[in-house]
């Protein structure tokens, strides 16, 4: 096919002529069309699915914005090496290769060879209540860690990737990204996270509001030089300085590093690289949706000219306050709404059989002509 428009038309014609009433398989038809366009073929296939789980800790956790202590981050990462997490079970069930990547967990994990060490800082990010969560160099390192993992999976034959996270308090930076990138009041973006009560949510909102109020003065100051005083050069795959304009005077790239977590920035790098490689990107819940939102602001269009979000399948809308609003603001619809709030990418993994069904529909169903059935519409 000569263009995305041509393949889109050819796929739609094929879908409409499968031996079923037109449109009768609903979202499966839409998914099949999307995946066929991504892979640029009338016969798409899903190969070697990989689940990347990035782990890191957050300085803002010190402000009591999460019901869980930061030790849970490393304890769960270790638990995943033993196969005991929800993410392990779903990966086994659906045939995903699970990769655990430490990009800033506040614990020495060197005793666990199953964990890929790409630690950006030994104790996680700085506390963004008092300044940027990370330097430009650290931001670049985290982006590259995500991109590298996608390159490795792609080299092994993977063409569909899901991404999860483990980082206590990471709903806090996600809420701020949502508020600043979408121009929404913070109170519409802040929720209970892993289980805060009403008083806990009130405190979390107060802390995050204070951090945002500190942001303009910090933003106006000259940027901190990277380590060693050298200029940080963009990598081959991702650019930190985005052309998509400022948000309240701040570029998305500044919002990325000022408030982000290392595991979140790595996920952004992974998503952008996967789309560049024309891989299907499965987006999980609130935190990964915030990462997809950030990626879409950093690089709205891929080198092919196609929107970044066209490569993403949003798999689950959870109960976190603001998640549905975020998805609606991006103009996307999730496949599932199961009330999940575990994180780890579990919502994306649960959606995989539906996506597999969509591809099988396109490739395995017969059409009216070949099956000698009268086309009745």
Catalytic residues: 344
Distance between CA atoms of 181 and 346, rounded to whole angstroms? 25
Residue with tokens 């819940």, as numbered in its chain: 285
Residue 112, SS3 per DSSP:
coil
Q: Which tokens in the block code for residue 182?
A: 């979408």
Residue 237, SS3 per DSSP:
coil
Distance between CA atoms of 320 and 305, rounded to whole angstroms? 33
Q: Is 334 left (phi over 0), alpha (psi -120 to 50) or beta?
A: beta
Exposed, middle or buried: residue 231 (CB in 10 Å: 0-12, 13-18, 19+)?
exposed
Burial letters for 232-246: b for 16+ Cβ neighbours within 10 Å, e otherwise? beebebbebebeeee
Distance between CA atoms of 16 and 374, rounded to whole angstroms? 14
Exposed, middle or buried: residue 2 (CB in 10 Å: 0-12, 13-18, 19+)?
exposed
Distance between CA atoms of 377 and 18, rounded to whole angstroms? 12
Q: What percent helix, strand, coil does the chain show, rounded to 5?
A: 50, 10, 40
Q: Which tokens in the block code for residue 37?
A: 């366009």
List all residues 6 or more positions away from 329 whose beta carbon is below 8 Å from its beta carbon: 182, 184, 293
Q: Which tokens in the block code for residue 44?
A: 């798409």
List all residues 6 or more positions away from 231 whose beta carbon is below 8 Å from its beta carbon: none
Contact call for residues 19 and 368 (beta carbons, < 8 A)? yes
Kindly list the distances between the CA atom of residue 314 and the CA atoms of 59, 254, 331, in Å, as whole numbers in the listed order: 28, 25, 11
């Amino acid at each position: 096919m000569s263009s995305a428009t041509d393949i889109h038309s050819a796929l739609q014609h094929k879908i409409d002529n499968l031996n079923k009433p037109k449109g009768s398989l609903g979202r499966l038809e839409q998914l099949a069309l999307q995946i066929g366009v991504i892979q640029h073929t009338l016969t798409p296939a899903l190969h070697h699915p990989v689940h990347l789980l990035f782990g890191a800790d957050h300085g803002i956790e010190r402000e009591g914005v999460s019901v869980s202590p930061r030790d849970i981050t490393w304890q769960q990462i270790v638990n995943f090496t033993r196969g005991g997490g929800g993410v392990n079970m779903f990966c086994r069930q659906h045939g995903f290769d699970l990769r655990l990547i430490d990009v800033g967990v506040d614990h020495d994990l060197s005793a666990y060879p199953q964990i890929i060490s790409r630690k950006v800082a030994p104790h996680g990010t700085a506390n963004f209540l008092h300044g940027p969560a990370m330097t430009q160099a650290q931001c670049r390192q985290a982006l590259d860690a995500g991109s590298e993992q996608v390159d490795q999976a792609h080299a092994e034959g993977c063409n569909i990737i899901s991404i999860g996270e483990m980082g206590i308090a990471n709903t806090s930076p996600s809420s701020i990204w949502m508020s600043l990138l979408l121009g929404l009041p913070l109170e519409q973006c802040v929720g209970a996270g892993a289980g805060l009560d009403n008083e806990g949510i009130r405190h979390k909102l107060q802390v995050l509001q204070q951090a945002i109020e500190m942001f303009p003065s910090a933003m106006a100051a000259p940027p901190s030089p990277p380590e060693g005083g050298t200029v940080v050069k963009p990598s081959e795959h991702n650019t930190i300085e985005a052309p998509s304009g400022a948000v309240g005077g701040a570029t998305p790239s500044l919002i990325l590093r000022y408030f982000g977590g290392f595991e979140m920035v790595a996920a952004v790098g992974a998503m952008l690289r996967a789309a560049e490689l024309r891989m299907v990107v499965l987006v999980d819940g609130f935190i990964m949706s915030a990462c997809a939102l950030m990626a879409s602001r950093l690089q709205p269009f891929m080198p092919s000219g196609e929107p970044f979000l066209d490569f993403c399948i949003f798999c689950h809308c959870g109960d976190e306050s603001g998640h549905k609003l975020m998805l609606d603001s991006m103009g996307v619809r999730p496949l599932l709404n199961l009330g999940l709030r575990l994180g780890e990418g579990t919502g994306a993994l649960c959606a995989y059989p539906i996506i597999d069904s969509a591809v099988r529909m396109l490739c395995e169903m017969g059409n009216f002509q070949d099956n000698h059935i009268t086309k009745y519409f």
